Every structure is written in structure tokens, then in C-alpha cells.
């Protein structure tokens, strides 16, 4: 329950902080950090324009996409407190629940009959496919290290190992961070601020969405950031009492947002054709973690 509230709170400012960082670094004043939330709220009140080509799939897809993100949010724990839903193998459920949302957002993009959106859908499907192995191997290694198979138990037991587990945590944080960027279509995979439909990935898929539906998609995006942020936080907080962990949670979330903003300010997007290789390379980092775990457990010799 605690994690649910914290993630919700973090979602309010996370994207705003990124935007603010970017604006400061580029010498602009920039919008306030709650501007993304205000945008969403405004969209919720608006009417909508639908394409004549689309069917009801296009209309229910944002609902299912948003629900899948909320479902994933329910599974994420916070330190010693469980997520609202917690069971053995819940991280598998986490990934597959998000996949339902992805499935619908991809077919909704194809539903518009636009070649731009088809292009975006194709890329999204490919990238998410390549990102998933990294996540599963990462969680597999952590499960191997702790001997547990649920998010809550893995994270609760994780810190109990030697100091080397913190080294592993840093690597894991890197992998999770990169997955965050892929899942949220950010640099270096995708540039949310690009103006050309041809070079977009996620943005182009939602070109035809408007009104309440667009609001749902955007708010799902806000939530996704803080969900992955919460996962990263969980790698470090372990058994610390709440009076330390809750400020730590916000500190790490803001730090993550600032880092993302900084990266986006100084880096250009990768070439589209290099993205897939880059994403798949994450799996090898995950494998590195796996071998690290093997060393800790002394299985190598």
C-alpha cells in the first residue's frame, strides 16, 4: 500500500523534474514541475477526434494500456512493506501485465491505417522484445542470490549479503535505468521532443489519440517512470526504517529524473538501426550481474 502511494506521489513530479532540468541546462526558464500533470488534467476534460479508419480497438486500447500500468504498479513493493499484490513469481506477472498494454497500444497504432503509426508500432514491438530478456535475467540473478522469487522477498533479502551485493545493486540499477529509458521511449532510444514523424517511436504511435484517451496514455507514461524509479530505489533501501527510506525514495527519484534530464540535454538519439543492438547489449550487462551472483555464491569453483 505504501509503495502505491509513494509511486503515485513521485509520478506527480518525475516528468516535471526532467523537463525542468532540461530547460535549465538549455538556459530557458521552463514550465513548472507540475506542468505535465496539469496537461493531463486538462486533457481529461477535453473532447476527442477519432479517425474514421479506426475501430473500437482504438478506443479501448488506452484504457487497457493505462490499466496494465496500474496493475504493474500494484505489484511493486517498498522496502519491508509488500506491494498490494505480492506472490511468488510476481515479477513475471509484472512484465506480462505490461505486455498486455503494449499489445493493445501496438494494434491500436495499426488500427489507424497510417504508415507513420505502423512504423512506430513496428519499432516499439521490436524494442520491447529486446528489452525483456535483460529484465528477466536481472531478476533471475537476484532470485538466485536471495533464493526468493517475489519482488518483495528479493528486495528485502538483497542487502543482507556482503558488500559486493551493493556493487551488484549499482549494476542492476544501471540495467533497470536503461530499461526505464526504453520503456518510456526516452534518450538514447527515442527522442520525445523530435518534430519529425519519421524519427519518432512512441510519440508517433499516439498521433491520433486525443482527449481523455491521450490523457490516459500520458498519465500511464508518468506512472511508468516512477514505477521503474521505485524498483531502482528498492535495490538500495533494504531493512532501513521508514524515516530514512521514504526521504531516500524521493531523493533517488529526483536524482534519477535529474540524470535523465541531463543525459537528454547533452546527447543525441542513436541511429534507429543501432537501437536494437544497443538494447540487446543490455542483456549482456544482465549476464554480467548473473556471473557476479555466481561468484558471490561461490558456484564458479
Partner 1 sequence: MTVILIFISICIAGVIAIPFLSPKLKGIVTLFAIVMNSAISGYFAFLSLTGHEVCLSLQGSYITGDIPVRIDALSGWFILIVNFVFISGGWYGMFYMNAYRYHREKISLHAISFLLLHTSLVTLLSVQNSLVFLIAWEIMMFSAFICVIFDHEKESTLKAGINYLIQSHISVVFLVTGFLWVAFKTGSYDFQSITTFSLSQKGTGALFLFILFFIGFAIKAGFVPFHTWLPYAHPAAPAHISGIMSGILIKCGIYGILRMLLVIKADFTSIGYMILIFSVISGLYGVMLAIIQHDLKKLLAYHSVENIGIIGIGIGIGCIGIGTGNHIIATLGFAGALLHTLNHALFKSLLFYTAGMVYQATHTLNIEHLGGLIKKMPKTAILFTVAAIAISGIPPFNGFISEFIIYTGLYQSLQDASLGSLTVILFTILGLVLIGGLALLCFTKAVGIVFLGNPRKEFDHDIKEGPVAQFIPLYAITVLMLFIGVFPGIFTNLLKEPIALFTGIPAASVSSFHGQIPEALQPVSRAMLAFLAIIAVVYLIRKRAMHKPTVSMDATWECGYGAPTPKLQYTASSFVRAYSKLNKPTLMYSRKEKEVIGIFPKDGHFESHAYDKLEKWLVDKPIFAIRSFMKRFHFLQNGSLQSYILYGVIFIIAVIFIPLLVEKISSFIEFLKHL
Q: Which of residues 56-85 bind partner 1 (CB under 8 A)?
A: 57, 60, 62-64, 66-68, 70-71, 74-75, 85
Q: Select 55 or 259, whichever has its Cβ closest to partner 1.
A: 55
Q: Select 53 or 247, whichever has its Cβ closest to partner 1.
A: 53
Smallest distance from partner 1 to CB 58, Å: 8
Please identify, among the stretches 100-108, 156-164, 233-241, 244-252, the one whose residues bind partner 1 according to the rule CB under 8 A.
Answer: 100-108
Please identify, among the stretches 27-35, 109-117, 187-195, 254-262, the one whose residues bind partner 1 according to the rule CB under 8 A.
Answer: 109-117
Per the CB < 8 A criterion, the answer to whether 88 and 149 are in contact is yes
- Does residue 12 interact with partner 1 by CB under 8 A? no
Residue in 8, 246, 285, 294 binding partner 1, rule: CB under 8 A: 294
User: What is the grid cell recorded at 69?
Assistant: 500500468
- Does residue 161 interact with partner 1 by CB under 8 A? no
- Does residue 285 interact with partner 1 by CB under 8 A? no
Q: Select 19 or 112, whichever has its Cβ closest to partner 1.
A: 112
- Does residue 48 interact with partner 1 by CB under 8 A? yes
Q: What is the dihedral of CA 289, 290, 296, 301, to 10 degrees?
A: -130
User: What is the grid cell recorded at 74?
Assistant: 500494484
- Does residue 284 interact with partner 1 by CB under 8 A? no
Please identify, among the stretches 94-102, 155-163, 173-181, 182-190, the one whose residues bind partner 1 according to the rule CB under 8 A.
Answer: 94-102
- Does residue 106 interact with partner 1 by CB under 8 A? yes
Taking each helix axis from N to C terminus, what angle separates 35-44 and 2-25, rounded to the nearest 10 degrees? 110
Residue in 20, 40, 79, 111 binding partner 1, rule: CB under 8 A: 111
Q: How many other CB atoms are found less than 10 A from the CB of residue 59?
A: 15
Smallest distance from partner 1 to CB 263, Å: 24
- Does residue 288 interact with partner 1 by CB under 8 A? no
What residues have CB less than 8 Å from 281, skipping those under 6 apart? none
- Residues between 205 and 244 that touch partner 1 (CB under 8 A): 207-208, 211-213, 216
- Does residue 132 interact with partner 1 by CB under 8 A? yes
For 141, counting Cβ atoms within 10 Å of its Cβ (0-12 exposed, 13-18 middle, 19+ buried), the class is buried
Please identify, among the stretches 48-56, 157-165, 176-184, 228-236, the one whose residues bind partner 1 according to the rule CB under 8 A.
Answer: 48-56
Residue in 147, 170, 193, 267 binding partner 1, rule: CB under 8 A: 147
C-alpha atoms less than 13 angstroms from C-alpha of 248 in its C-beta half-sphere: 18
Smallest distance from partner 1 to CB 208, Å: 6
Q: How many other CB atoms are found less than 10 A from the CB of residue 167?
A: 13
- Does residue 140 interact with partner 1 by CB under 8 A? yes
288: part of which helix (H) or strand (E)?
helix 272-297
Taking each helix axis from N to C terminus, what angle separates 56-75 and 211-237, rounded to the nearest 10 degrees? 20
C-alpha atoms less than 13 angstroms from C-alpha of 273 in its C-beta half-sphere: 0
**Cα–Cα dist 234/154, whole Å:** 10
User: Buried b / exposed e across 75-84, counting CB within 10 Å, b at 16+?
Assistant: bbbbbbbbbe
Amino acid at each position: 500500500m505504501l509503495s502505491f502511494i509513494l509511486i503515485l506521489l513521485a509520478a506527480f513530479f518525475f516528468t516535471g523534474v526532467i523537463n525542468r532540468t532540461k530547460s535549465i541546462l538549455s538556459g530557458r526558464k521552463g514550465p513548472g514541475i507540475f506542468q505535465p500533470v496539469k496537461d493531463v488534467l486538462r486533457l481529461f476534460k477535453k473532447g476527442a477526434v477519432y479517425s474514421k479508419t479506426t475501430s473500437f480497438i482504438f478506443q479501448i486500447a488506452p484504457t487497457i494500456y493505462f490499466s496494465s500500468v496500474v496493475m504493474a504498479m500494484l505489484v511493486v513493493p517498498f522496502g519491508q512493506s509488500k506491494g498490494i499484490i505480492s506472490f511468488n513469481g510476481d515479477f513475471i506477472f509484472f512484465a506480462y501485465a505490461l505486455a498486455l498494454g503494449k499489445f493493445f497500444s501496438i494494434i491500436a497504432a495499426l488500427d489507424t491505417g497510417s504508415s507513420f503509426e505502423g512504423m512506430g508500432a513496428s519499432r516499439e514491438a521490436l524494442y520491447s522484445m529486446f528489452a525483456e530478456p535483460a529484465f528477466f535475467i536481472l531478476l533471475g540473478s537476484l532470485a538466485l542470490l536471495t533464493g526468493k522469487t517475489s519482488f518483495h522477498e528479493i528486495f528485502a533479502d538483497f542487502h543482507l549479503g556482503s558488500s559486493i551485493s551493493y556493487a551488484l545493486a549499482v549494476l542492476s540499477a544501471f540495467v533497470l535505468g536503461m530499461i526505464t529509458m526504453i520503456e518510456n521511449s526516452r534518450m538514447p532510444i527515442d527522442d520525445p521532443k523530435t518534430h519529425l514523424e519519421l524519427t519518432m517511436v512512441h510519440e508517433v504511435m499516439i498521433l491520433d489519440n486525443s482527449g481523455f484517451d491521450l490523457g490516459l496514455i500520458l498519465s500511464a507514461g508518468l506512472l511508468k517512470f516512477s514505477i521503474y524509479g521505485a524498483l531502482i530505489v528498492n535495490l538500495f533501501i533494504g531493512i532501513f526504517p521508514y524515516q530514512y527510506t521514504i526521504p531516500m525514495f524521493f531523493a533517488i527519484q529526483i536524482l534519477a529524473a535529474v540524470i535523465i534530464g541531463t543525459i537528454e540535454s547533452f546527447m543525441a538519439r542513436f541511429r534507429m538501426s543501432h537501437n536494437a543492438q544497443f538494447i540487446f547489449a543490455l542483456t549482456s550487462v544482465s549476464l554480467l550481474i548473473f556471473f557476479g551472483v555466481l561468484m558471490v555464491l561461490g558456484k564458479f569453483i
